[in-house]
Amino acid sequence: MEVSRPLRLRCSVQNYEWGKLGEDSRVARLFSRNSGAEIDPERPYAEFWMGTHESGPSFLVRAESGSPDSEPVTLRKWILENPDVLGEKVVERWGGELPFLFKVLSVAKALSIQAHPDKELAGMLHKMRPSIYKDPNQKPEMAIALTDFKALCGFVSIEELKDVLAGVPEIVELVGDEDASKVMNTTEQGGYVEVKPILQSIFTKLMSANKEAVSEIVSKLKCRLNAENKIRNLTEKEQLVLLLEQQYPADVGVISAFFFNYMKLSPGEALYIGANEPHAYISGDCIECMATSDNVVRAGLTPKYRDVQTLCSMLTYKQGSPEILRGTPLNHYVSRYTPPFDEFEVDLCSLSPQESVVFPAIPGPSIFVVVAGEGRMQMGSAIDEEMVMEGHVYFVPAHSEIGLTAGAAAPLQLYRAGVNNRVL
C-alpha cells in the first residue's frame, strides 16, 4: 500500500473515576464520535488516548490488508511493519516506536499529586515493580487548556513558603518547629543548594506522617478555615484546599497543596512538566501530549498505590512558578506549542468557515485530532480528499503534505502532535 496516505484511527478511552460524567465530558463526546460507541450518562470519561501505548491502543479504521472481518490492526503493529512512516531521524533515535502519546482530558475532580520519573529511574522502577510501573520510559508532558483549566504544579518560591508556614499552623504542627524555623531563616540569596535539603526534609515529613495525625490535622484545618470564612474572604489556595478536602477527606494531599503553585490557565494557554516535578490537575478540559509512557509515582489525593518514599526522593525541589506557553503563530491559522522536550510539540489549527491551510510535508510523523467543526482533508493531490469532522483522528506519515479546508457552516479546529522539530 502507498505509505504516504494518512490513516484514520479508532482510539481508546479511559474511564478513571476523576473524569467528567457522560455528555458533560469532552472526552466522551470525542470518543463517541470517533468510535460510534454510545455515551453512558453514569460513567466517567477521563482520557481519550491517541497513539501506540498498549494500555490504550489506537486501531486502523480500515484493516488495510485483508477482509473487513479481519482482526483490527493496532497503529503500533502497523508502524513496526512500516517503520518508514516515522521518517529516518525518528527511527534512528527511537527505533520503530512512536515517541509521543496524544490525549484529551476531561477532569471533574483532582488527579493525584504525582510526578513522572526520568529515564534512569523509570528503568529501575519498571524492573522492581513492573505491575505498577509498566514501561521503562520517562514521561515529560504538556497540557494545553481547552476550557479554563486548574492545576497544582511545582513548588512555591521560598518567600511564599514562609508565608505558608506563618499562616498555616497545622503544617508546623505536623512537621515540627525545627524544620519550620530553618525555612523561616533562609534567604533568597541562599539559593537552591541551601533551600533544597530543607524543603525536601519538610515535604518528606509531611507526606510520610501517619494516617491518624494527618486525619486530625486536616480536620483542624477544615474547621479553622470554615470559621475564618465567616469573618474574612479565604484566599484562592484556601478555597482550593477546602474543595480538595471534600473530594479526598483526611488525605495528606489536602495539606500538601499549600506547597505547590496554583495555576489557572485560560483556553489556549499551556504548561509543561519535566521529569521529577510534582503536579496535580484539578479541573477542566485539556489537550495533553507526552512521551510514550504511563509511569506515575503518586503520593496523595488518590485511592491508588502510593509510593511516598520514591516520590519524595525523586523530586527536584526546584521552586518558582512554571512557564506558561501561549503558542507561537506559524501562519494566520496555526500556532505551535514547543516544550523543551525532544519527543513532541503540538500545533493548534483554527479555520473559519471555508478557509484553507496547508501543513507542509515534514520528516517526522504526526497525529491530528479534530475537536470542533467539519471540513475536507486533501492528501497530496487535489482529487484525493476525505471529509473530516469532530472526533476524527488521523496518523499522518512522515513526508506527507496535508491540506485542510473548513466546511461552510462552522469553524474547524484541530490539534496536531508531532516530534519536536528541533530533532528533525
Query: Which residues participate in the annotated binding site?
Result: 114, 116, 141, 279
Candidates 26, 298, 306, 416; catalytic one? 298
What is the C-alpha separation between 347 and 343, in angstroms, rounded?
A: 14
Nine cell digits for residue 26: 469532552
CB 419 within 8 A of CB 365: yes
Binding site listing for Zn(2+): 114, 116, 141, 279
Q: How many CB atoms lie within 10 A of CB 418?
A: 26
Helices 191-208 and 177-185 pack at an angle, to 10 degrees, of 160
Q: How far is CA 2 from CA 82, 84, 397, in A?
A: 11, 11, 11
Contact partners, residue 141, CB within 8 Å, separation at least 6: 116, 272, 273, 288, 289, 290, 291
The reply to whether 336 belongs to the active site is: no
What is the C-alpha separation between 101 and 12, in angstroms, rounded?
A: 12
| 381-389 β-sheet, strand order | 356-359, 402-406, 374-379, 381-389
- Position of cell 515534514? 362
Q: Which residues are catalytic?
A: 298
